[in-house]
Structure 1
Amino acid sequence: MTDLATRVAPPRVTLLRRAAPALLGYAAVRALGLLVLVAWSAARGKSAHTLLTARWDALWYTRVAELGYGYEVRLPNGDVHSNLAFFPLLPWLERLLHALTPLSYADAGFVVSLLASFAAAWGIFAVADHGYGRRAGASAVLLWAVLPVGIVQSMAYSESLFTALAAWSLYAVLTGRWVTAGALAALAGLTRPVGLAVVAAVWTAGVVSFVRDRSAAAAHGARGAEGAPDAPWGAAVTPHSPHPTTGAPAGSRALGMLLAPLGAAAYVLWVGRRTGKGPLGYLDVQAGWRNGFDGGYAFGRFVADKFTSFPSALAGVGLIIGVGLVIWLYLIGVRQRQPLPLLVYTGVVVALALCASSYFGSKPRLLLPAFPLLLPLATTLARTRTPRSALVIGLLAVAAAVYGAFWLNGSGPP
């Protein structure tokens, strides 16, 4: 049992050493993106620093860190944009770093996101390495870095922080560390509303583990759910098997499941009390931003409207291809029998991103935490010869850097 645990859950130092080449590659991609952004912004008379730290959502987070909650903007059409829509963990960290260093709140947010992006890359590597090996882990990290919207990973937004917490929570589930998984899920729930995806993954995995334990108890009598600890998820067949088994002793599983929803529940209930509207108060806050879950109706109308003229029809075709690619990658993950926690997490992230009536230009950014979608591509890239895979990543990195600079210098928020 000791050898198995060491094999599937190596010490952090060993895991960091394994991930080091991937993290260096990630740093190179992010540096390229920032350099292109600085040059592009300077050519347009804009400040890359402002675009990264003090525009759009980053500005709202900074205001929460500096002034607390209670700020809102009333628009001419009657909509109310309240900063209660923004979950508190990132502003808390901005405030803490500002108190400990000479950094402004905005710069503190940039540093937090920068560090969180590396933690996220390391967590993505850990998940992919656990299931598919070191080369697949490195490929997953680099593919996440070269996404067209990868520049968001370097912004004072909450995506990097959330992805880091989600990836490490999922890794903790895969390696049978349920209390750690639950604690990280609780923190993810304090970061973004989509923290529900991490909670769902932990709870689904926990319930399945309990059911399997009961089945094992019925089949083997005394050697059942209260016996020796089970093997971690994904450790049953081979050193890098993607197939899940069960978790850990019942007590730690229950504690992890209990911890998981506390972050999101605490903030939502606090908002409800502050607004005087009870548990549904947060939904009213989101409604003020015209955000809600409509099953994809508004997004479908948005795509359909693109076909009213020829130039915009090309954008409509691109959106359909993009959504189709997301669904296709998810179905490949199902066919590859990715561990259940990953499938549940990805499914909830994708559903919330595509089926919400939020600002449609942000859909790609909202999908950024859905890193398990990249695992089928990562396993394919891992089987490619190194020179060819390096060329592919290099070309994608350049394209992503150019697109990111163009995107942030546009008129709307990412």
Structure 2
Amino acid sequence: MRARRCPLSAETSAEPTRSLTVAAGNEPTPRLRAALLRAAPALGLFAAARLTGLLTMALWAWHIDRQPRRILARAWDSDWYMLIAEHGYGRVLRWPDGAVQSDVAFFPLYPGLVRAITSIAPVTSGSAGLLVSWTAAGAAAWGIYAIGERLYGRRTATALVVLWGLLPHSVVLSMAYTEPVLTALAAWSLYAVLTDRWLWAGTLSALAGLSRPNAVAVALAVLVVAGWALVRAHRTPPAAGPPRWRIWAAAALAPLGWCGYVLYVGVRTGDPFGGYFAVQRGWTSRFDFGAGALRVVRDIVLRPTLLSLVMALLVVAVSVVLFALLVLERPPAALLVYTAVLVLITVGGSGFFESKPRFLLPAFPLLIPAARALTKARPSTAVVVTVALAGLSFAYGTYLLTLSPIAL
């Protein structure tokens, strides 16, 4: 299938983020409005999917005498983020086996946004966290749509957004977690790369780097494509393409957020270049080329285990297959590098195996082959597949938040 040219091209229009900066009197932003109108059906389907999943979980939570809002706003890592927003960094847990878990393992952008909202609005940190996550999830869905529309057309873009909203772990997008923020910043940064908006690409990548450890994938994607763009720039006349200084600026900006926070934690712990990784080891999180993950897989296969661990194994296995199919699609280098790094970190990292599907939520390009296949299928087949995915997503999301005894 030949990639279609999106109306929001670098030559004919400004992307949504740039349009927001236009201040020519009170003139509206027709291109932004047109882009939003094109994305509206996909965003509506995404919102319907997530609201239905949320309602399903809430009804079951009330049935078992649990509070849905507390589950969404203060469960597992959410509580760490809310405590950082309320009191700042400094919380440390010491376990009998000698393990030390420090809150500096959590990146600062999300709790910073929560704290900013609670400082200007009369809401609790939990409500502010949910506001940030839900807004970011919508922005992420729009960014995913924009990329899909530019590369493959509106139908595939819509299918891509719907599939992302119906992943087994997509309930996380409704929680006070950081995955929606990372995905939103990553999607728009990658879109900026695709449209040669280099300053936006670098700036959004820097912000993404302050959101989560695996946001390094965004920085590496921008750096690789920027490097190749500079190589090509030396082979073309100076007037061709974007100004080189913008590409250099993007390459300089892209890793600043991630590197800056890692260095900050290192200095704070007394080991500038290794301190952050020592903190992560306290959470049993390290990159060991999959050795720790393989031990967990062996236990899952040989012994009775929890449903969430079995599902995590299936999701990771399917993701590896989807990555191979994505490579065959020959997507733009930015998407390929970004996705490859996310998959590599997830597969090669040790730690909480049950959290691996959550780590893969920002890897939305993995769904491109499935989205393209869905648009080529018969309408009845597409409906059956979508309904089946919705049932799995709603039921499994409810299980994860209300019945599963281990963290997401």
Both proteins in one fold, TM over 0.5: yes
Name the structure 2 match of 1:152. 172
1:236-277 per-position Cα deviation (integer Å, ceiling 9, x unaligned): xxxxxxxxxxxx321111111111111111111111121122
Name the structure 2 match of 1:5. 11
Instruction: Find the aligned partners of 1:301 and 1:155 in 2 and give their Cα distance.
Output: 30
Matched, 1:279 2:273: yes
Instruction: Find the aligned partners of 1:192 and 1:145 in 2 and give their Cα distance.
Output: 20
- Match of 2:229, SS? helix
Q: What does 1:13-412 align with in structure 2 at a 5 Å threshold?
A: 13-214=33-234, 216-217=235-236, 224=237, 226-229=238-241, 248-309=242-303, 311-312=304-305, 321-409=314-402, 410-412=404-406
Match of 1:6, as an amino acid? Answer: T
**Greater mean alpha carbon deviation, residues 388-397 or residues 114-123:** 388-397
Match of 2:260, as an amino acid? Answer: A
- Match of 1:98, SS? helix
1:164-207 per-position Cα deviation (integer Å, ceiling 9, x unaligned): 00000000000100100000000000000111100000000011
**Greater mean alpha carbon deviation, residues 377-386 or residues 312-321:** 312-321
Instruction: Find the aligned partners of 1:21 and 1:3 in 2 and give their Cα distance.
Output: 21
Aligned residue pair count: 386
Name the structure 2 match of 1:244. none
Q: Does the 8 Å contact 1:303/1:319 carry over to 2?
A: no
Change (3 A) 1:70 1:8: closer
Match of 1:302, as an amino acid? Answer: V
Deviation at 1:72, TM superposition (A): 0.9
Q: Does the 8 Å contact 2:312/2:354 carry over to 1?
A: no
Change (3 A) 1:318 1:72: closer
1:80-116 per-position Cα deviation (integer Å, ceiling 9, x unaligned): 1110000000001000111121110111001100100
Instruction: Find the aligned partners of 1:24 and 1:131 in 2 and give their Cα distance.
Output: 21
Deviation at 1:318, TM superposition (A): 6.2
Instruction: Find the aligned partners of 2:261 and 2:9 in 1 and give their Cα distance.
Output: 41
Q: Does the 8 Å contact 2:312/2:357 carry over to 1?
A: no
1:133-165 per-position Cα deviation (integer Å, ceiling 9, x unaligned): 001111000000000001000000000000000
Deviation at 1:323, TM superposition (A): 3.3
Deviation at 1:228, TM superposition (A): 2.4
Instruction: Find the aligned partners of 1:107 and 1:382 in 2 and give their Cα distance.
Output: 37
Deviation at 1:385, TM superposition (A): 4.3
Deviation at 1:290, TM superposition (A): 1.1
Deviation at 1:312, TM superposition (A): 4.4
- Match of 2:65, SS? coil
Deviation at 1:321, TM superposition (A): 4.7
Match of 1:328, as an amino acid? Answer: V
Q: Does the 8 Å contact 1:85/1:282 carry over to 2?
A: yes
Change (3 A) 1:23 1:281: same
- Match of 1:278, SS? coil
* Structure 1: gaps of 5 or more residues: 218-223, 230-247
Instruction: Find the aligned partners of 2:9 and 2:335 in 1 and give their Cα distance.
Output: 25
Change (3 A) 1:321 1:62: closer
Match of 2:53, as an amino acid? Answer: G
Instruction: Find the aligned partners of 2:203 and 2:334 in 1 and give their Cα distance.
Output: 16
- Match of 1:5, SS? coil
Deviation at 1:6, TM superposition (A): 1.9
Deviation at 1:307, TM superposition (A): 3.0
Identity of aligned residues (%): 42
Change (3 A) 1:367 1:252: same
Deviation at 1:57, TM superposition (A): 0.5
Change (3 A) 1:156 1:137: same
